Chains A and B, each alone.
Chain A
């Protein structure tokens, strides 16, 4: 489990482009469709997700290693992780409110929504699995990078989508496709484009 720069670059490119959380892994779709109507709120949500995902990856990695594996209670992983993430989000909300009111004002309303964002729990669980590049488990640095990069990938998709949907407002859309269905079609086209990145083959 030695960290190498190559490994870290591989993980980040894979998490942002090849295995994009929204468009390839289908994680975090609810906020992706819920908060992508306006560009400004999409950016805010994206920043909040990057932040929480990075911190959550760091903390759940330690908990998994120091508590769950050492004590042999891996079957409690789901319960422990979701509780840790829920309390982490609450804690972050309080800390931000106290120390950086400006940041809190811009991220505040998105934070409670993040607890039930499956992307956060998803990245925590992925970090307990096997790293496809090295064939071993994720190290602390690797899982932190994975968390941050996955968050960035999520934000990228969200911001692109918001930009597209702002334009779609003006378009003439068949009545039965208006709203969510056309958003799904847009996302499908984006996913098709992102599928092109799988040609960047790091996966052997």
Chain B
């Protein structure tokens, strides 16, 4: 039974409640770092780490936090994990630290994390909150990977730093700021189209 509900949870995090593509949360980091697949994956994993741990801690201490000051308390918990993460990344993957730069400390104000703390972890037990943190992080990572694949391929003709199509001149604008907006608009458009199409199917049947 446990495995069935896990599959369901993953489906919820990645598809039905995908934080970026459906709920449109956490847009800043997702557009800023999706310039290459490596950066996208790094950011996704970093946010998942913070999301999972802060969810667990918040759901453990939720009983002691007075309702009025809960948001500042959540932010302190999240900021603590972000600081831990910052030090870890600096020590073990300095290259990623250079690439993501300011967006690592900015995980603190990523709305996905505070959103999950408020909407889920403050109401559920630690185990479920941990699972929720992981699946939401997975959804975030998957959407980052989709975006960064599109942008890295069109913008520099590479995937994971490997050349894809020889003799193809990429469009640099795709890895600059405009490309980020175009890529997410395109992906969201496709998602909406598929959803609209599915609804029609249901109506017919």
A residues engaging B (CB < 8 A)?
23-30, 33, 75-79, 82-83, 86, 115-118, 121-122, 125-126, 129, 174-178, 180-182, 184-185, 187-189, 191-192, 194-195
Contacts and interface: CB of A to CB of B under 8 A. Distances in A.
A116 B109 contact: yes
Contacts of A192: 173, 178
What is the interface of chain A mostly: helix, strand, loop, or mixed? helix
B24 interface: yes
Contacts of A25: 32, 177
Interface stretch (B56-64, B74-82, B132-140, B160-168): B74-82
B80 to A, nearest CB: 7
A78 B105 contact: yes
B125 interface: no
Contacts of B76: 79, 83
Interface string B58-101: 00000000000001100110011011001100000000000000
12 contacts: A75-B87, A82-B109, A86-B75, A115-B71, A116-B109, A129-B102, A175-B192, A176-B190, A181-B185, A181-B189, A187-B181, A188-B180
B111 interface: yes
Given A75-B87, A187-B181, A117 B109 contact: yes
Interface residues of B, number: 42
B90 to A, nearest CB: 9
A188 B178 contact: yes
Instruction: Report the 10 A-B pairs with minimum CB-CB distance, sorted nearest first.
Output: A188-B181, A184-B185, A26-B32, A176-B193, A176-B192, A191-B178, A29-B27, A79-B79, A192-B178, A191-B177
A126 B102 CA distance: 8
A125 B28 contact: no
Contacts of B142: none
Contact of B189 (A77, A82, A116, A176): A176
A24 B28 contact: no
Given A79-B76, A116-B109, A191 B181 contact: yes
Contacts of B79: 78-79, 82-83
A180 to B, nearest CB: 6
Nearest to B194: A176
B37 interface: no
Contacts of B87: 75
B184 interface: yes
A71 to B, nearest CB: 16
B47 interface: no
Contact of A86 (B28, B72, B80): B72
B114 interface: yes
A77 B24 CA distance: 28
A30 B188 CA distance: 16
Contacts of A115: 71
Given A177-B192, A194-B177, 11 more contacts: A26-B32, A29-B27, A29-B28, A76-B83, A86-B72, A117-B109, A121-B106, A121-B108, A175-B192, A181-B185, A188-B179
